[in-house]
Every structure is written in structure tokens, then in C-alpha cells.
Amino acid sequence: MIKFEEISPSDFFYRNKEIAGFENPAKACYTIVREFLENSLDACELGGFLPEIEIYMKSVNIEEKRLRIKVIDNGIGVPHDKIPLAFGKILYSSKYVLRQHRGIFGLGGKMAVLYSQITTNNPFRVISATPNNGYISFYELKIDILRNEPIILKRSKIINQNGWHGLILECEFIGDYLLSKKKIFEYLFQTSIAVPYARIYYQDYEGNALLFERKTDKIPPIPEETLLHPKGVDLEMLKRLIKINPNLPLNRFLAKNFQRIGQKAAEEILKLANIEFEKPVSKLTEEEIVRLYNVMKSYPFKRPSANSLSPLGESFAIGIKETFNPEFLSYDMREPSSFEGHPFIVETAIAYGGDIPIPEQNEINLFRFANKIPLIYDSYNDVSMKVIKNINWSIYKLNIYQEPIAFFVHICSTKIPYKTLGKEYIANQPEIYKEIELSIRKNARLLSAYINKKRIIEYQKIRYKYLKEYIEKIANFACILANEDPKKIKNNIVKLVEINDAS
């Protein structure tokens, strides 16, 4: 007989932790550092605070590969009564609103504490204080995996005498630090490029200490929460919204729940769907709902609003300049575009020379970012790599495999089309592919013009060097042929060479 059963979200991810980036101890170690750091950066930026983040990796038992991580930030913290659910209930999050943020489902941080509990059976500790609060909260928690509920072991409050705000998170886990160390260092290094307004300190038990100082005090604009765009809504979502707003008349329902729909657009849509303007949504028949949905899918709405996005802007260029000191840098940010009703903005840069290395054989210097997150793994499957490889670089007289050239691509959106829950690489969406290609080609044209000018100047210098080397012989032969004063001829030739060199 077939046995049916229901499992909780915690139980599901306990059984399938690999899909969230916890497939082995090395990857788990890297993923935990990444998820905790990203949560801290989000918390700081939402409060408008310049991030000050410290990460400490300690060894509890070297033979068992038991590690302890402690992360401290100066963000907005978590309110006292929300802490148990925020860290002890899978798929409970503040990230289900429609705006740009680093996470997908608010899953990563809780997966990290779940993994720590699975591998060590130890509780995790949370210390939190929200801005302008009079106390600091302390919790020691576990997750009831079967029920997907937090288990509170300890909790307390103390007076916040110094006005501190932020979060301190500490847990133990089994991880292979030696194998993951290189990826962790690379991730921190690339994070400092994408968020040059952050100060990040990392210290491990081997004595390694990395400090990425703040390079700018300017934080990109905080993304605003926005409404759904009609093009990104499927039939099931439309029915769900109707159930939530049963008493609203249709014209007000459309204007309230969707961006780019005002009263005029709402009336046009309902007229095309042959539905009464002020009919309550609860009175809609199944047939009318389908008609309304079909009209919304075909109606020529404006592109989604970009207020929910926070591109890096000039911070991106600052991070690249301060890190690589290139002799040439071209940065470009595309106008907002959309896919599946979700707005997105593409930023790219091409840097040349300076501290940028010549790529290893058949490699490409590509740095990928999504919603300010560095993407370290699986670069060859990423849409950015596909764009670069499909461009005919001989048109620009560039050899990207043998010259010190680096590409930087940042995509920000309310929905990044990752191919995995581990946020490793971005799918080849046609709209995103097109925007990346147009942006990279624009930068490539500027780099090509710079290098061509540089080559001309170098040629002129070589030409001048040879002419100057033989100037006296040329002058003497000219004097013999013209029967003129040698000094006069020589001075005229020198002037002519200098004029040509200057031009």
C-alpha cells in the first residue's frame, strides 16, 4: 500500500539541503559565510546605515571540522518578539515584498542555522537591538524540524546603555574550512567591489585577517516596495488577489493592486473584457476572470516602475577603480527594462590595464553580481558569460584572452532568474541577454577607441625615436644635396619631427 504523508518546510529542506547550497562541508562553509554577510548588508542598507560588519571563524574541534561563526553588524536588527520566527521558522521572512533584496525567499540565513543544528545539535544565539530602542534582546534557539516552529531555550533583555543597534548571530556547524577558504576570500574580495560603502572585517582561526575598508560614504538609494506589474501576474495570482479584496469594485481593484493602472487604464481594460466597471470582484464568474486576465496580458502597459530597484551607480565604478587601479575604465548603466513583468537594470563595466591580470589560458576575467551579490560558482553557465563568448571581439580589435581586460556585470531586479536556490548563476533570459550585450558592446567601443589611440601614440613615439637617432645623418646628406648650411637644415628637420610627434 502506498503511504502518504505531509512534511513541514523545515523537514523538506532538512532532507534536501543540497538544493540550497549545503551539498558538502566545504560548500556549506562558504554558503554560511555568504548568507550571513548578505543578510547583514541588507539590514544595514534598509536602515540607511553605512555597513560595519565583522565575521569571526573559529575552530571548536579540528578533527571533527567543527567550526563556530560569529557575525556582527550595525543594521536595523530584529524586534524582540519577531526573533524566534525570523530565525526559527523556515519560509517566514520579511523578504516577500516586491522590491530588490539579496535573498530569494529569506531562506538562506535560516538554512544556515538549520544546517548548524543538523550537524552539531547545538542551539544558535541571537543578540539584537533595533534603532532607538531601550533594550538589547538575547535569544538561544533551536528549530523544531517536524513542526517548523522555533524552540526557545533562553531569552532575556538588558538595558541598551550605549544606543547600539544591529545583530549578532553565532552558531556552530561542521564545515571543511580548508577547502572553502579560497572561495570565501574571493567572495569577500568581490563583495568589497560591489559594496565599496561597506567596511568588512574577517578573521579566521588560522590567523588570517582581511579588512576591506570603506571606499565611499555614499549608499545607493534604498529600494521602495512596489505593486505587481500586470504583465507579471498569472491567472492563479489574479484569483488570489480577488479573494483578498472581495468587496472592491473592479476599477478600484485594478488601480489598488497593480502598478501602471490608473482609472483611465482600468476602464479601458474592463471595456475590452466586457465587464461592468463597478462590479464587485467577488461577483466575477470564472469566465469573466479569464477574460480579464487575457486582456491584461495583451494590454500595452508601460514598463514596470524602477523605484523598487537600487542599482550600484557610481559606487560600482568607485569599487572597480579602488580595487584594480585600471588605466582605462568604461561604465554603463542601461535604462530600466522588464521580463515577465519584473523590472531590471543592467550595469556593466570594462576595465583595462592597471592591476588587472592577463587571463589564464582560455579564461575570461569576468566578475558577476546580482542584487549586489558576487556570483562565484558556475560562471560558464551564466548569461553574462554567454554574451561575452558570443561577441566577435575581432571587430573591436581586442583579444580578451591575452590582454589585461576585465568585465563586470551587475543585474538588479525584483526577481533574479537564478537557475538554483544556491544563487550560483543567472538563466539566459532573452530580455536580460539583450541588455547585457548592448551595454558591453558600448563599453567595448570605448575601450577599442582608447587602445587604438594608444597604439597610434606608441607608433609615433617609436617613429620619433628612430628619426631622432638618424637625424644628424639625414641633416648632413640633406646639406650635401641642397648645398645649404648643415645647422639650418638640421633644425628644420628636428622641428618637423617634433610637430608630427605632437600631433
Nearest 5°: phi and psi at 359?
-60, 155
> How far apart (Å, rounded) are the C-alpha atoms in residues 153 and 155?
7
Stretch (H or E) spanning 244: helix 235-244
Q: What's the pTM value of the predicted model, to 2 decimals?
A: 0.83
CB atoms under 10 Å from CB of 73, counted, come to 27
> How far apart (Å, rounded) are the C-alpha atoms in residues 86 and 81?
9
> How far apart (Å, rounded) are the C-alpha atoms in residues 53 and 40?
7
Stretch (H or E) spanning 140: strand 135-144
Cα 286 to its chain centre, rounded Å, is 41
**Is the predicted pLDDT of residue 421 greater than 90, yes or no?**
no
What is the tens place of the pLDDT at every residue in 104-132? 655 667 788 888 888 999 999 999 999 98
> How far apart (Å, rounded) are the C-alpha atoms in residues 173 and 275?
58
Give the CA angle between residues 414, 420, 422 to the nearest 5°: 90
Burial tier of 453 (Cβ tally within 10 Å: 0-12, 13-18, 19+) = exposed
Question: How is domain 230-298 classified at the CATH fold level?
Answer: Helicase, Ruva Protein; domain 3 (1.10.8)
Confidence of residue 266 (pLDDT cuts 50, 70, 90): confident
Q: Where are the domains of the chain?
A: 9-212, 230-298, 314-446, 451-502
> How far apart (Å, rounded) are the C-alpha atoms in residues 407 and 369?
11
Return the SS3 of 247.
coil
Q: 9-212 — its CATH code?
A: 3.30.565.10
Distance separating the N- and C-terminal Cα atoms of the chain: 89
- Segment 445-470 shows an average pLDDT of 80
Confidence of residue 340 (pLDDT cuts 50, 70, 90): confident
Phi-psi region of 415 (alpha: psi -120 to 50; beta: other; left: phi over 0): beta
- Yes or no: is domain 314-446 CATH 1.20.1250.20? no
Confidence of residue 342 (pLDDT cuts 50, 70, 90): confident
Answer for the pair 195, 370: CB distance below 8 angstroms, yes or no: no
Stretch (H or E) spanning 348: strand 342-352
**Is the predicted pLDDT of residue 174 greater than 70, yes or no?**
yes
Residues shown for the chain: 503
> How far apart (Å, rounded) are the C-alpha atoms in residues 220 and 218?
7
